[in-house]
Structure 1
Amino acid sequence: MKLIHTADWHLGQSFHGQERHAEHRAFLTWLIDTLAERRADALLVAGDIFDVVNPSLRAQELLFEFIVSAHERLPRLDIVLIAGNHDSGNRIELPAPLMRRLRTHALGRVSWLDDGTLDAERLLVPLTDAAGETRAWCLALPFLRPAEVTGAGLARDEADDASLRDTPRNDYVAGISRVHQQLIDAARRRREPGQALVAMSHAHLHGAAVSESSERPIVIGGEESISATLFPPEIAYVALGHLHRAQRVGEARIRYSGSPLPLDFSEVDYPHQVVEVTLDGEALADATAIPVPRPVAMHRIGPGPLERVLAELEALEDDPALPREQWPWLEVRVELEAPIPDLRSRVEAALDDKALRLLRLERRLPRVEGEDAPARVDLQALGPRRLFERTWESRWGEPPDDDVLADFDRLRQEVLDDEEADAAEARP
């Protein structure tokens, strides 16, 4: 049996104010061709399908057109989608009854039975081969928000499993671990001899490498990360989403596919790929990375002195025959000895008549010893938590302690959860 694992599409992403629909459409077209060429039996999309909880109509059209086109070309293909932390679970599940007619299973949230245990059956998706025989079960676990997994019923001290009781983690991580365990136990009971188990989760695993600046922490820094030991050896393959850098986590069977496109200039040099997974009975036979062609090039110039940067810009090759939507994206980073008021105009003059799109110009000024004013920072790269720490230290003369940071993290998560709830209520 053959599967294709992908994640973190972020359809509808606004890239420094610019739309990327053409790039996403090119990737989805390539993906359908790849599914057909590789004769895949199933496609697993491990979360962050959209970039925001309330995606644009064009972003939603991209997803639905892809599903319809994939089904028309590969009528026996099973597609399994889970919601990530950027997605609205309710929105992902809204068209689920229609999508099931296209052999597409959309799981956006978890639910609980009257006795407080996980409703695991709805998260177990059969994966069939070309003959229609069930060869594997997908344990499709969408992103878990704190309100879904914390509380008395899921607290760490009430966990049945000793490995969870003895692990010093917060209730949120213990709750995530408990849900994974309940789902795995249900899959063990459901499968028959010869059928493989494939887990799909949108989570941060211990030891996995995060992106330089583009990934939003799921909850609080790295404290929400879970252990790869949650996935016992009988799980043939673990298809992960959330981290944009493609990577194995300890074993060949536990992988982040990574994002198919760079979502920030810091990700330009990452390997962007999908993973072809081959199962032999209950075991993993092979997992092979398939590079994703980059529909639009991305260039980072600098950091360096202005004259050197201008020379690099002059030397950049371009293709004027390309349509504008395929012109390369460009980030320019200049180190200055002093402010230059006409810096942007000088950079734009170096790009005059070139088929390139300047998205970001970063000015790096030297820090002056003894200067009271704070150094200029890029708020987007800094992130909310670091900005809060800087502001607190500037106001009180010392960094915030752990309790203050914990309060900030909880408040920020409440804001993120409220945004999703408001988006859900606004839907007709």
Structure 2
Amino acid sequence: MRLFHTSDWHLGQNLHGQERDFEHGCFLDWLLRQLGLEKPDVLLIAGDIFDTVNPPVKAQERLYDFIVSAHEQQPALTIVMIAGNHDSGSRIELPAPLMRRLRTHALGRVLWLDDGQLDAERLLIPLPDASGEIAGWCLALPFLRPAEVTGAHLGDNYLRGIGQVHEWLIEAANAKRKPGQALIAISHAHMAGGSVSEDSERSLIIGNAEALPASLFGPSISYVALGHLHKPQKVNGEERIRYSGSPIPLSFSEISYQHQILDITLDGETLLSVEPRLIPRAVNLQRLGPAPLSDILSQLADLPNIDLLADLQRQPWLEVRVRLDEPQPDLRQQIETALQGKAVRLVRIAAEYAGSGGRDGADDSGQLIELDQLTPQELFSRAWLDSYGSAVDEQTLKDFALLLQDVQQESEQP
């Protein structure tokens, strides 16, 4: 059996106010071609399909057009997609009855039976191979929110509730499968030891007990397809537990590595190979600085001029980071003037001061902090420190986490 593993599409994402629909369209066209050429049995999409719980119509059209095109091109292809922490689980599942006709399984939430047992049956997806025989089972684990895995039957410990869900689902899968059938888990979670992209990965749970242990996936699981972390990586060096990473760089901190999907081959229960398939970058992200303003203006002057025959949608996104000795009220004007006629699209100017001496709006190093660079817990911690003159305690952070979780769940309602 052969599978493609991908995740973190973030359809509908904006880069500092600039939409990325062209880039997502290029990726989906490339992925469709790869499916047509290689003809894998299964496509796994491990969460964060959309960038927000209420994605724009264009982003939803991208997803459903892709699914229809993939099915028309390869009617035997099975697609399994789960909700991530950026997604609304109920929105992901809303068209599920229609998508099943296209051999696409959309799982957004875990549900519980009246007796308090996990409804494991809906989370176990049969995976046929090219001959039509069931070669494996997919254990679908959408992002598990605290309200879904705590309560009367599971207690109030979030990590313990997650562990119980994994244990019950794996037990049900082992009872269902026949000899030689592989178990493939697809999950959206932050695994302990994973390398994080700070600028674009929203913290899953506030507090210290966020990262999950790889031991949740025992040796009976042949492969674990993970989503959430945007950099392709193994978990604890294990070949069978992987993040595929995002298909495009979602922030300027993600431009230093090649984005990819993973091509997985199994023989029965045995994992034979995991091969990366590198995704062409439709639009480059370019960062200048940090450097003094005079150096930045010189670098801007050296940028290539606009080619009127070139596709303007492929012009690089540009971030400029300037180091200042004193305020420059006309900083943006100077930079925009220097960029006139240049083949780049400016999306962000970041300024930092050397030796700011505690200037308002700067951190201890003198770097200016923008709101879009801070997580909700960081904003809360800074506000607490400003108001009370001391660091926020752990219990207050946990209480804030619960309040934030309630707000996020309310915002998910379609």
Normalised to the residue count of structure 1, the TM-score between the two structures is 0.92
1:190 has 2:200 as partner = no
Match for residue 416 of structure 1? Answer: 408
Q: Which amino acid aligns with 1:296?
A: V
- How far did residue 323 of structure 1 move? 2.3
- 1:186-265 to structure 2, matched below 5 A, reads 186-250=172-236, 251-265=238-252
Match for residue 341 of structure 1? Answer: 329
- How far did residue 212 of structure 1 move? 2.4
The one-character-per-residue Cα deviations of 1:131-156 (angstroms, maximum 9, x if unpaired) are 1111111101111111110013112x
Match for residue 171 of structure 1? Answer: 157
The one-character-per-residue Cα deviations of 1:81-139 (angstroms, maximum 9, x if unpaired) are 10111111111111111111111111111111121111111111111111111111110
Distance 2:201 2:87 in 1: 14
1:392 has 2:376 as partner = no
Match for residue 150 of structure 2? Answer: 150
Q: 1:330 aligns with which of 297, 307, 318?
A: 318
Pair 1:328–1:114, CA change in 2 (3 A): same
1:406 has 2:393 as partner = no
User: How many equivalent residue pairs?
Assistant: 407
The one-character-per-residue Cα deviations of 1:293-349 (angstroms, maximum 9, x if unpaired) are 111111011111111112222223366233222211010000000011211111112
Distance 1:363 1:294 in 2: 28
What SS class does the counterpart of residue 239 from structure 1 fall into?
A: strand
Q: Which amino acid aligns with 1:191?
A: R
Q: 1:350 aligns with which of 317, 335, 338?
A: 338
Distance 1:324 1:234 in 2: 50
Unaligned runs of 5+ in 2: 363-367
Distance 1:6 1:182 in 2: 25
- 1:363-382 to structure 2, matched below 5 A, reads 363-369=351-357, 371=358, 373-375=360-362, 376-382=368-374
Identical aligned pairs, as a percentage? 56
Distance 2:34 2:208 in 1: 35
Match for residue 281 of structure 1? Answer: 268
- How far did residue 412 of structure 1 move? 1.6
Distance 1:179 1:137 in 2: 17
- 1:97-116 to structure 2, matched below 5 A, reads 97-116=97-116
- 1:24-63 to structure 2, matched below 5 A, reads 24-63=24-63
User: What's the Cα RMSD here?
Assistant: 1.4
- 1:108-127 to structure 2, matched below 5 A, reads 108-127=108-127
- How far did residue 221 of structure 1 move? 4.6
Distance 1:374 1:71 in 2: 52
Match for residue 159 of structure 1? Answer: none
- How far did residue 372 of structure 1 move? 6.8
Q: Which amino acid aligns with 2:202?
A: R
1:78 has 2:64 as partner = no
Q: Which amino acid aligns with 1:344?
A: R
Distance 1:385 1:270 in 2: 28
Structure 1 stretch displaced more, 140-149 or 393-402: 393-402
Pair 1:372–1:44, CA change in 2 (3 A): closer
- How far did residue 367 of structure 1 move? 3.8
Q: Which amino acid aligns with 2:405?
A: Q
The one-character-per-residue Cα deviations of 1:226-248 (angstroms, maximum 9, x if unpaired) are 11001111211000001111110
Match for residue 291 of structure 2? Answer: 304
